[in-house]
Structure 1
């Protein structure tokens, strides 16, 4: 038996990721605003709170970015975290394990956001294309 399916609504394409320079520009502005708001509300010298906020920002940016944008997003967020959330403000420093941990957290957040978005889009595309269970022929014909 042949069943005609209507594609009148059309298949929705998988959303294209945003261009990497736009993601990085948004990361710069977003990180600056995040650190500024946190410094205003709770004061400077609270890097764990700033790391949490910037990790959330990196994950949100990853939802619409290419995988290639993740390292740059992590570095830009780290620059604002290191430069403006840790005293002395305005000075970049490198404190071995701490900064490596921060970079790892920010990179993991950006990659997690991108991975979740890709899995979600792939699952949605599969569900649009797959034949529903009720329409399958139980006899295998």
Structure 2
């Protein structure tokens, strides 16, 4: 005999973030692809455009990441920005104020993406828990 069981009962848990190495692999591959695409389509001397694109990538990756993945995501994106989006390509340099600003932008983007995702998931979980019905009379709680 087959007994059907409803698996959708009760509150659904908040989804777990992706593993940090997976997020970093996405940052590595995504940053490489974005910088190569920008260098091919627009040219290598457009760090503002590359910074914007990599910040959006960091924020998008932050949506599926833990907060602890944000610094590594920012550094990986910065490495491709510094190494290949500004001439001479393939040479890492450190220009204090500029690179500090770039790292700050990338880190902020990753943290904002993660915070927005965690807040959205927590808010959805709260609403799932508080919009139940009273089992005695069937009215909303």
TM range (shorter): 0.7 to 0.9
Give matches, 1:1-141, under 5 Å. 9-10=8-9, 11-131=11-131, 135-136=140-141
Distance 2:72 2:78 in 1: 10
Distance 1:70 1:47 in 2: 21
- Scaled by the length of structure 1, the TM-score of the pair is 0.87
**Runs of 4 or more above 4 Å deviation:** none
For structure 2, the residue ranges without an aligned partner over 5 or more in a row are: 1-5, 134-138
Shift of 1:44: 0.5
- Scaled by the length of structure 2, the TM-score of the pair is 0.87
Deviation sequence 1:52-104 (CA, Å, 0-9, x none): 00000000000000000000000000000000000000000000100000000
Shift of 1:13: 2.1
Deviation sequence 1:8-66 (CA, Å, 0-9, x none): 63332211111111111110010000000000110101000000000000000000000
Aligned length: 130
Shift of 1:132: 6.3
Distance 1:82 1:107 in 2: 15
Distance 2:102 2:62 in 1: 17
